[in-house]
Structure 1
Amino acid sequence: MLKRKGKIMLGMSVVILATLTAFSTKEYKRKPQKDRLSGPVFSDFVYKGEDAVYKENPLKPGQFYSPILQGCYPDPSITRKGDDYYLVNSSFSMFPGVPIFHSVDLVNWKQLGHVLDRESQLKVATSGISEGIYAPDIVYNRHNDTFYMITTQFASGIGNMVVKTKDPKVGNWSDPIKLDFDGIDPALFFDDDGKAYVVHNDAPDKGKQRYEGHRVIKLWEYDTQKDQVIKGSERILVDGGVHPADNPIWIEGPHIYKKAGKYYLMCAEGGTGSDHSEVIFSSEQIAGPYTPAPKNPILSQRHLDKTRLNPVEWAGHADLVEGPGGSWYGIFLGVRPNEVNRVNTGRETFILPVDWSGEWPIFQGGMEPLKPSVPMPAGVDNKGNAPGYFPNGNFTFADPLTAVKLDHRWVALRGAREKFVQQSDKGTILKPYAVDISEQKPLSALFYRQQHKNFESTVLLNYVPSTPSDLAGITCLQSEKYYYVLGLTKLDKENYIVLARNENGSTKILAKEKMNLKGAVQLKVQAIGDAYQFAYALAPGQFKHIGNTVSGDILSTDVAGGFTGALIGLYSTSANQIR
């Protein structure tokens, strides 16, 4: 059983797949030395996803795919102002942090950028990949026309914090305001009378913990003028969970809603793993007492046949929003394991309609095997994978890497991209850091989330290493201790391409070949199921496998631990430790 600061997670498995797109028909000639750009130049990145579930389940009129955010987009939270919906996710030590999306219909989403895009907001320079930002909550306060994002930052002693903006479309979120309470997973609630509250997960009072995983849900009054909880106002709303006598674990991820004059407290229960679920309570008063619904959980997949077709597991950590036309929807995290029960894509953002015509909200199909598509709100047009919208289903993402600004989907680890990235009309140059990929320091690397069980990915690299300490190439990474690297480096004063596997900090060279570098090299990673295959091409279309097929085991959480999905990276270093 895996534990994080305040969360238990049962093993997650990851499968990695990659296939490759065709080489461009043009020849790529290296410029003369005097004109060469400084540092490795990456260009023509292509990612293509080809999962069978989408081929076998084409959309019908009135449907859209769930998950709406494929890949490592966990712990979703959503809010609404008028016809605008805003959604955020956990980002851990990725930089920039907390991706934020916008929609006017809950179906078609655009990424606005990131909430935490400055080093003054995000201090994760020495964090492990699964530290940093956990479970952000976004909420709009109509009483002061302000958006809040409250979260826990496990880095630099910050802890629970809040940032604010008047307009998420503009961004410019404030620097963090450190909040004076312990625990994790905070969420804000603004009542009809303008009063504000914070609800969060915490440990039981000292000396009252009954078992491992025993947690409580606390409520504080919140001063919106001082942006701080009011001392002495805290109280426990839930102790343990729905059935305290059964010793339920990890009641967390709380949200408060108000409907028809009654308060509803919705929480995750069971830990972010195979026992994950969503439960709900209600009260006539915001401070309680809260009574659980007669039928809990209201969302879970833990009780279903593990051999079912296209399983979604670990469903929970949900948030509710009133959608177009007064319909309700719930977003939540889940994982999609493959045929050997590994999950390469990590925890993704799913959506379901919610029936709240009665006393309690009911996730439509939330206790049944989740389907790959769900019904759209009435009157909404599914724009599919139209340009500008965040794609889902099977799709191709192609980036020549020549734009003035990077696409929002590219993230770094632990530090700002702008410090090592240089844009040019030849591609993106990654200024090498004297930092190896195994170190918990800012890397010179750009990462794209793996979004399918079956995918293909290629990139063109123009680079000649100078010393054995120099390396540039691609990586498939789950953490700083578990990854593959395919890169160009120097060995015995000769240029080589090297394939290496790092498992729990121990590096093994799986294959190496001497290279006659006369032009750009195209790098490829291809996998089917749990099997990876790396390759390279020195001329258009002439790919050559390097090494044997390798396993995606080290890219799975049950081996590597942590909370992220697998990442595909473009990597550069002047402190290479693969020798």
Structure 2
Amino acid sequence: MTVKNSFRNGSIKEMPIFSNVIYQGDDLIYKNNPLKPDEFYTPILQGCYPDPALTRKGDDYYMVCSSFAMFPGVPIFHSKDLVNWTDLGGVLNKVSEFNPHDTGISQGVYAPSITYNPHNDTFYMIVTAFTGGMGNIIVKTKDPMKGWGSPIKLGFDGIDPCIFFDDNGKGYIVHNDAPDKGKALYEGHRVIKVWEYDLVNDKVIPGSDKIIVDGGVDLSKKPIWIEAPHLYKKDGRYYLMCAEGGTGDNHSEVIFISDNPKGPFKPASNNPILTQRYFPQNRTDKVDWAGHADLVLGPDNKYYGVFLGIRPNDKNRVNTGRETFMLPVDWSGIFPVFENGLVPLEPKIKMPKGVTENKTGKDGFFPNGNFTFTENFTSEKLDYRWIGLRGPRESFSTVTKKGLQIKPFEVNIKEVKPTSTLFYRQQHNTFSFASTIDYKPASEKDLAGIVCLQSERFNYVFGITKKGKDTYVVLQRTDKGQSKIVASTKIEIKKNIRLQVKATGDSYQFSYALNGVNFENLGGSVSGDILSTNVAGGFTGALVGLYATAANDAHAE
């Protein structure tokens, strides 16, 4: 994009330029569990990539995740082998069609599903959008590499929709919904519904809806939050797999069977088929909250499942959000079972037979484990790991010869509006994130720097601003929407300044270097509590970002 000289009396000097950004992950679990040649790490997607779903066409696999108010919506990945994944960006990438500009960070879109229909050689992505009155929507494409069609609104309520195509070409949609009016028995009582789908007109067939699961596996036990349904067909029978227990400590995956896609569905006797809820809370290298899964036939003709889980930090808090894990699935009997999904989860699994190389982090493949991501903003196209919040990153960022220039909006990070912040997901409990900034603020309303954000109401701002004629570095903590200055110090900028945040579990430290090398800490060690789901609530993980604003309220003291 081109920068117009209309901003703030045309002064481009007030626009910060960010360069040499380095994110470095350093979690102990990866040092203690080095990979053998036939292994790969799980989670396969670290950081806030929850609610995974995937599909297969030939030897191509496509996987999607929730993104809430992040932009673009619904991240999508491609793989040939389930081990090595390429980031394709977001499915909903046109702000004219998906615009979460006025939604809290945990709204937007979530719980997508992706299905390939061999009968018409078309991919379908279906999702619930909590913005702009969209509700449940579906988009289609012949080739996910080339983009997607416009969203089509679907006429039903509820969340977590999934589309399924039978051998005869008929389409069905299953989703979570409230019980019929007056039938709710307790808090968290939900049902799974099925609709027949009109493929010609892309809509559910009115009056075809039917409740196929009421409450969950056993209604007498008052199960809560039956959701995230997926329909499968194997050996002539229909399987309905759902999450049950809510996306927290009690999360699990359960399965039902039927001779008909419209039921009746009978639960398996060995439910749940995946959960981490039975183990001691203080176990080492804990993975928890496992559930919200999807299955696919792997390249070795064996089934695999992706699902969400969390890896808490040293204070048992969740800062990295819900991540995408994978396990092999044994479907040699009537019901599928996640292999080692009912024992404490391990950090690595065996690659599918026939897959000979783990290329994660190389040749353009998405990294996992401990890795370093260096961004010099020399490429015309930004890496897809950089995202906007409530709006496209292109509306405020421009790649220049010196680095990335951010045009500051007159919007504060605490506002429920698109912000001029380029975000990156926190993917490790122990990490560092640093950037060099070329910037001279003009007034106390101007600030540029780094933000660590769980939501608009819970975040840290660490940046350069003005107080009178002096320049300051300031650290602000916002808890429940209430901000306070942790520390500030007067500086003299003679050349570019380097800002850094380092976290070791719950302990976060913010530092600056006036010469780019010798870092000075500001504010001591501060708690990452407000960057956790436990304290901030919501459904997302922590983000770190390059932030600029012309509506700064972090005033030096």
How do 1:48-447 and structure 2 match up within 5 A? 48-171=24-147, 173-381=148-356, 382-447=358-423
Q: Partner letter of residue 238 of structure 2?
A: Y
Give the unaligned 5+ runs of structure 2. Answer: 1-9
Paired with 2:389 and 2:89, the residues of 1 have a C-alpha distance of 16
Q: Deviations for 1:506-528, whole angstroms, at most 9, x for unmatched residues? A: 11011111121111100011121
Q: TM-score, normalised by structure 2?
A: 0.97
Instruction: Report how far residue 121 of structure 1 moved.
Output: 2.5
Contact 1:185 1:252 in 2 (8 A): yes
SS at match of 1:558: helix
Q: Partner letter of residue 223 of structure 2?
A: P
Q: Partner letter of residue 141 of structure 2?
A: T
SS at match of 2:220: helix
Instruction: Report how far residue 100 of structure 1 moved.
Output: 0.5
Paired with 2:20 and 2:57, the residues of 1 have a C-alpha distance of 39
Aligned to 2:7: none
Matched residues, percent identical? 60
SS at match of 1:325: coil
Contact 1:108 1:384 in 2 (8 A): yes
Paired with 2:11 and 2:378, the residues of 1 have a C-alpha distance of 18
Instruction: Report how far residue 443 of structure 1 moved.
Output: 0.4
Paired with 2:548 and 2:327, the residues of 1 have a C-alpha distance of 41
SS at match of 1:315: strand
Give the unaligned 5+ runs of structure 1. Answer: 1-33
Contact 1:38 1:429 in 2 (8 A): no
1:512 equivalent in alignment to 2:468: no
Contact 1:120 1:175 in 2 (8 A): no
Q: Deviations for 1:500-551, whole angstroms, at most 9, x for unmatched residues? A: 0001111101111112111110001112121111000011321111112100
Paired with 1:343 and 1:558, the residues of 2 have a C-alpha distance of 6
Farther-moved stretch of structure 1 (37-46 vs 220-229): 37-46
Aligned to 2:3: none
Instruction: Report how far residue 36 of structure 1 moved.
Output: 6.9
Runs of 4 or more above 4 Å deviation: 34-38
Paired with 1:417 and 1:530, the residues of 2 have a C-alpha distance of 29
Contact 2:436 2:516 in 1 (8 A): no
Paired with 1:482 and 1:363, the residues of 2 have a C-alpha distance of 36
The higher relative CO (CA closer than 8 Å, separation ≥ 6) is in 1
Aligned to 1:469: 445
Instruction: Report how far residue 467 of structure 1 moved.
Output: 1.0
Q: TM-score, normalised by structure 1?
A: 0.93
Instruction: Report how far residue 398 of structure 1 moved.
Output: 0.3
Contact 2:253 2:275 in 1 (8 A): yes
Contact 1:472 1:572 in 2 (8 A): yes
Contact 1:249 1:269 in 2 (8 A): yes
Paired with 1:399 and 1:240, the residues of 2 have a C-alpha distance of 48
Paired with 2:19 and 2:149, the residues of 1 have a C-alpha distance of 34
SS at match of 1:295: coil
SS at match of 2:30: helix
Are residues 576 and 38 of structure 1, via their aligned partners in 2, closer, same or farther at CA, if it must alter by over 3 Å?
closer
Aligned to 1:523: 499
Instruction: Report how far residue 305 of structure 1 moved.
Output: 1.5
Instruction: Report how far residue 37 of structure 1 moved.
Output: 5.6
Aligned to 2:525: 549
Tell me which of 19, 23, 33 is aligned to 1:47: 23
Paired with 1:504 and 1:150, the residues of 2 have a C-alpha distance of 33
Farther-moved stretch of structure 1 (356-365 vs 338-347): 338-347
Aligned-pair RMSD on alpha carbons?
1.1
Q: Partner letter of residue 446 of structure 1?
A: L
Q: Partner letter of residue 214 of structure 1?
A: H
Paired with 1:36 and 1:260, the residues of 2 have a C-alpha distance of 65
Instruction: Report how far residue 402 of structure 1 moved.
Output: 2.7
Contact 2:85 2:360 in 1 (8 A): no
1:460 equivalent in alignment to 2:436: yes
Count of equivalent residues: 545
Paired with 1:332 and 1:362, the residues of 2 have a C-alpha distance of 13
SS at match of 1:326: coil
Paired with 1:320 and 1:120, the residues of 2 have a C-alpha distance of 33
Instruction: Report how far residue 378 of structure 1 moved.
Output: 0.3
Q: Partner letter of residue 193 of structure 2?
A: K
SS at match of 1:484: strand
Contact 1:90 1:134 in 2 (8 A): yes
SS at match of 2:523: coil
Instruction: Report how far residue 38 of structure 1 moved.
Output: 5.7
Contact 1:216 1:239 in 2 (8 A): yes
